[in-house]
Amino acid sequence: AAAAAAAGCWCCLLAPAAGLITHQDYVRITSTAAAQIFNIYPRKGRIAAGSDADVIVLDPSVNHTISAATHHSRIDTNVYEGKEIAGKVTVTISRGRLVWYKGKLDVQPGSGRFITLPTHGPLF
């Protein structure tokens, strides 16, 4: 979900703070509904026994600027480069393991897992 991490567009981060949607709607849009669309729910998009236990903690009071230079990715661009946003992920738990905390990434190469997307999802 780190990937889901950060999933969602920056405008979704602003919507709860602006009162346009609830925090519950934010989770539904960026996690539950996304997992359902990609046909990987309830393995992803749900906190329950048997699910992967991927969780983020988002602090809506922290402002920051999006930059590819600060992302942990092989790509060197970001379509939102330079965009100042409210809300920042402060903690990431992947498969029950703390992997992002206090600005430090703690993962080992090969610790990720490829998730096959089943065919015939609800939108197809």
> pLDDT tens-digit profile of 43-100?
999 999 989 888 999 888 898 899 999 888 888 999 999 999 888 899 999 988 999 9
Residue 9 has pLDDT above 70, yes or no: no
List 58's β-bridge partners, or say none.
Answer: 89
86/111 Cα distance (integer angstroms): 30
Reduced DSSP (H G I as helix, E B as strand, rest coil) percent helix, strand, coil of the chain, to 5: 25, 25, 50
Calculate the average pLDDT of the chain.
Answer: 83
52/10 Cα distance (integer angstroms): 25
Lookup: tokens for 51 = 């699910």
With cut-offs at 50, 70 and 90, classify the pLDDT of residue 8.
very low
C-alpha angle 37-74-51 in degrees, rounded to nearest 5: 35
The SS3 assignment for 59 reads: strand
| Omega within 30 of 0 (cis) for the link into 42 | yes
